[in-house]
Amino acid sequence: MSEIVVVAEENAKPFLKQDLTASFIAGGVSGAFSRTVVSPFERAKILFQVQGPGAGNYQGIFSTIYNMWKEEGAAGLFRGNGINCVRVFPYQAVQFVTFQYLKTEILTHHNDSTIDQLTTVERLGAGAIAGTISVLATYPMDLVRTRLSIQTAQNLAKLKQSKINLTVVKPPGFWQLFGKVYATEGGLLGLYRGFYPTTLGVAPYVAINFAVYEKMKDLWPDNTNPLMNLANGALAGGTAQTITYPFDLLRRRFQVLTMGNNELGFQYTSVWNALVTIGKKEGFKGYYKGLTANLFKVIPSMAVGWLTFETVKDAIVNY
């Protein structure tokens, strides 16, 4: 039996050591691990984003996280994180493997064979395509995860406002909510509600993230230094998120647009209508509602994510 295991392991090594295979596995692991580390900030950010104009249930980052813990227990800090990890693993895996594939193909077709790195424009293009493909592959899970994140908070807010002693309704499970969206909101189209504004935000975000990180690696190529990888990842993630944040806000609002019969305080007919309405009702700050909470999430998440990616990929290649 042990001989069979050894033979299977030896046969699997060449496949695992391939750049695309290693990138796929390392990308998935880095995504799931890094998102779990910052899950409380992720949920706080979503609650800020879907809070309509004039609503004041969620104000400060840490007070919101404290209230989640106080009202829902430790589990409330990670509400929706399980499905987020299920989504993020293939999302990040597809993203990294697509970028690595495009990078290899572009370098192969370069006229100058001595060039071993992409230009900034090529990195931006490859990153944008990788981001779009990864969103297309995993978007329904992201939509359901977002709704799971706010479902309990919404119910608790109603209970606090009510004078009747009601019991807390258990939030629906993933498949129950998935089926409800599919059955009541137009089938597959309902599961892809908000896909357009999401892609408008994710494509440039991923493009900038990859471009900045790769540029930092050009300047400081020592991949064995974990602190350098952490710093490069933090800078790449923070820069990309700050530039593209308004589209992330639109993404969340379109995902929950049909929830609560207008109780969230906003209704939009298109991306342009949403941009105009937010500007009129909430001012310029409205486009960046939840940004601080998101940077608390994104900077450590991308720092840990890039470090994990480099570490896991090196471990697989050198296995």
C-beta of residue 197 within 8 angstroms of C-beta of residue 142: no
Integer Cα distance of 23 and 41 in angstroms: 27
Overall size of the chain counted in residues: 319
pLDDT (average), residues 132-143: 91
- The CATH number that applies at residue 81 is 1.50.40.10
C-beta of residue 149 within 8 angstroms of C-beta of residue 155: no
State both tokens at 263.
């109780």
Integer Cα distance of 233 and 227 in angstroms: 10
State both tokens at 184.
């009541």
Candidates 154, 197, 179; CA nearest to 55 is 154
Q: Is 272 helix (H, G, I), strand (E, B) or coil?
A: helix
Number of structural domains (the chain) is 1
C-beta of residue 229 within 8 angstroms of C-beta of residue 223: yes
Q: What percent of the chain has pLDDT over 70?
A: 81
pLDDT (average), residues 120-147: 92
- Residues 6+ away with beta carbon under 8 Å from 195: 135, 136, 139
State both tokens at 178.
């998935």
Helices 19-37 and 2-16, interaxial angle, to 10°? Answer: 90
Candidates 248, 235, 166, 157; CA nearest to 202 is 248
Boundaries of domain holding 275: 2-162+169-317
Candidates 87, 172, 163, 98; CA nearest to 128 is 98
- Residues 6+ away with beta carbon under 8 Å from 184: 190
The separation between CA 160 and the C-alpha centre of its own chain, rounded to angstroms, equals 31
pLDDT digits (tens, 9 = 90+) for 17-73: 788 999 999 999 999 999 888 888 877 777 776 665 655 566 677 777 887 787 778
Helices 291-317 and 39-49, interaxial angle, to 10°? Answer: 140
Any long-range contacts for 195-198 (C-beta under 8 Å, 24+ apart)? Answer: 195/135, 195/136, 195/139, 196/271, 197/247, 197/250, 197/251, 197/254, 197/271, 197/274, 198/135, 198/139, 198/142, 198/247, 198/251, 198/254, 198/255
> Highest mean pLDDT range out of 138-142, 233-237, 265-269?
233-237
pLDDT digits (tens, 9 = 90+) for 238-297: 999 999 999 888 888 887 776 655 556 677 888 888 889 999 988 888 889 888 878 888
C-beta of residue 237 within 8 angstroms of C-beta of residue 303: yes
Q: Is the pTM of this model over 0.85?
A: no
Integer Cα distance of 98 and 206 in angstroms: 12
What pLDDT, on the 0 to 100 scale, is given for residue 59? 64
The separation between CA 267 and the C-alpha centre of its own chain, rounded to angstroms, equals 24
pLDDT digits (tens, 9 = 90+) for 114-127: 677 899 999 999 99
C-beta of residue 43 within 8 angstroms of C-beta of residue 77: yes
